[in-house]
Structure 1
Amino acid sequence: MHATGARTGEAHSGAPASRRIGPYVLLTSLDDPHTRIPVPERRYIARSDDGAHTVLLGTPLPGADHEAFLTEADTSRYLLGQFMAPAAACSAPGEGAWHTRPYLPALPLPTALAVHGGPLPERTVRALGAALAEALIVVHGQGLAYAGVSPAAVLLAADGPRLTCFGAVRAAAPEGAARSGLPGLEPGSLPPEQAAGGLPRPLGDVYALGATLAYAATGYTAPESDELPPALRTTIGRCLSRDAGARPQLAELLQAFAPFPSDAGQTTGAAALLGPGWLPSRVIAAIAHQSAAVLAADISRATVPASRQD
């Protein structure tokens, strides 16, 4: 049952020396290629020509539909919620396709497992589950299905996770077309009904959330049941049901990961789990190292013309 996963690895530090995309100079790739977890887009940390703005910049994978990529990025601008990372700017018509969001020191979930040296602690997985459930409740309340939840879509920051890669499934294939095996899609995170070409729906997001949490807890998106932590086994297992109707509602998941306290004056929901120590120390150290390296990056000599998009 195991899908592609990685238990160990090294954080990626290579920079695409002085490359430019649009008005931005690329400082480094965001994703660690050693984890072998598919990412639905190419992602970089980049800085504006004047040095005033540092951003996370995404571009389509080779062969991807650029128009669909930009449509999904533009739609993401309207997403609400603390744990979202919507696009802030997109390329103009006639340019190579790209979008940006403000830079936040953060590691992709697969990189965090690599840095930590294996699956994340149960406390971290619970906090992640609560925060992502809250995020998806807001998205579904806006009448949308996220259709892009996967391990690589989740960035871990000191104050909580952020969801990226909005609409990855829709961008990969049109309605009715089988989506399995397409570049950038992590197969274990793809709900079976969507793999067959079905329309992305909220309960598909629940399946993808379960796969993402399974990855955080075990290093695999489709582990055997007994590989999951006992306290999370039933909840995550229900999310991964092939029968969409058997999957839990997001409000039920939020209660399972972050039970409401008996004292109404206490913090509730994901916020109760995202205090100091929610991330392992090695992950916090790697985030701090990334932040320091980005602050120290010098683009004054970057004069290479803007790169051509694939």
Structure 2
Amino acid sequence: MQQPRRTSARQIGPYTVITRLDPTGPGALPVPERRFIARTAEGDRTSVVSVPLDGVDSARFLVEAQAARCHLGPWFAPVTEYAEPGVPAWCARPYVPAVPLPTALAVHGGPFTGETLRALGLCLAETLATAHASGLTYAGVSPAAVLLAGDGPQLTCFGAARAAGPDGQPRSGLPGLEPGSLAPEQATGGRPRPPGDVYALGAVLAYAATGHTVPDREELPSLLRSLVPACLARDPAARPRAIDVLQTLAPSTPGTAPSPTVIDPGSREFPLPGRVIAALARQSAEVLAADLPLPTGS
């Protein structure tokens, strides 16, 4: 996370920006939204506030923001506020200390392994399976859409592919869409459907395990060596369902049914590497200590 600054008192709706959430510059992965950590003037709410990228239709952005008020389980970050029509578009989610997956890998010093990978896959597959069972297509899964918090991932950027470009028009090359996470049928303008979410899930797991979204099979750990290529199949009909991914990743012991999660729902302990946990603690302290200027007229 960038260091909070006392200058640059940008206002987004009722919020004053503390800092930008995502890294920028050469090598940074595309992010479908501009995301900021921001606080209301009264100090009663700190949120992750998103605004559309240049070139994204604000009306479509707000439609997806309103749809993202749904509840898809503990690993989804729902939108709780959004702009009224007629003013610059924005939406907000409650803030918890969290870093985007690309930042987490950079802090960790390389890809994730072992139970961190399994837990990440389980949580994201559970969220997508819940969405698909509700008749929803997420259409926004990518490495940058995953925020890692102390108690697990938070999936954001709901509907990013739909907001970026309407059905029937190619989405390949549009700003904010990570090409390795965009299913071929969506890249050519097809309507987002659940198999496209599974493709994106495979790309995210590949990224978490190797540092890029389109790996060679030999680069993948044994846990993902068969699963990720199946998710990344060019034919949507050949991909597993999200519930299949969940069942494949769930650990089991002989004579018992697979567990749906490796995380105790009561403790919500997520196996994050130590350097990522330290980064979350630093971010929390910096946000709490941020000295924001008073609004004009105060």
Shift of 1:80: 2.5
- Taking the TM superposition and a 5 Å limit, the aligned residue runs for 1:216-231 are 216-231=208-223
Q: Give, in whole Å, the separation in 2 of the partners of 1:45 and 1:150.
A: 20
Shift of 1:260: 4.0
The count of aligned residue pairs is 294
Shift of 1:277: 6.3
Residue 82, structure 1, aligned to residue 83, structure 2: no
Note if contact 1:83-1:162 (Cα within 8 Å) is conserved in structure 2.
yes
Shift of 1:109: 0.4
Find the partner of 1:285 among 264, 273, 278. Answer: 278
Shift of 1:14: 5.2
Q: Give, in whole Å, the separation in 1 of the partners of 2:4 and 2:157.
A: 22
Shift of 1:261: 4.7
Note if contact 1:119-1:217 (Cα within 8 Å) is conserved in structure 2.
yes
Report the residue type matching 2:31 in the other structure: V
The corresponding residue for 1:26 is: 17
The corresponding residue for 1:183 is: 175
Report the residue type matching 1:30 in the other structure: L
- Structure 1 residues 263 and 55, CA, compared in 2 at 3 Å: closer, same or farther? farther
- Structure 1 residues 277 and 202, CA, compared in 2 at 3 Å: closer, same or farther? closer
- Taking the TM superposition and a 5 Å limit, the aligned residue runs for 1:242-281 are 242-261=234-253, 268-271=260-263, 276=269, 278-281=271-274
Q: Give me the identity figure in percent.
A: 55
The corresponding residue for 1:240 is: 232
Q: Which has the higher contact order (CA 8 A, sep 6+)?
A: 1
Note if contact 1:225-1:237 (Cα within 8 Å) is conserved in structure 2.
yes
What secondary structure, in the 3-state scheme, does the structure 1 residue paired with 2:291 have?
coil
- Structure 1 residues 263 and 56, CA, compared in 2 at 3 Å: closer, same or farther? farther
Q: Give, in whole Å, the separation in 1 of the partners of 2:179 and 2:270.
A: 31
The corresponding residue for 1:297 is: 290
Instruction: Give the structure-2-normalised TM-score.
Output: 0.93
Note if contact 2:251-2:259 (Cα within 8 Å) is conserved in structure 1.
no
Gaps of 5+ in 2: none
Residue 174, structure 1, aligned to residue 169, structure 2: no
What secondary structure, in the 3-state scheme, does the structure 2 residue paired with 1:33 have?
coil
- Structure 1 residues 262 and 217, CA, compared in 2 at 3 Å: closer, same or farther? same
Residue 49, structure 1, aligned to residue 37, structure 2: no
Note if contact 1:18-1:302 (Cα within 8 Å) is conserved in structure 2.
no
Instruction: Give the structure-1-normalised TM-score.
Output: 0.89
Q: Give, in whole Å, the separation in 2 of the partners of 1:266 and 1:227.
A: 26
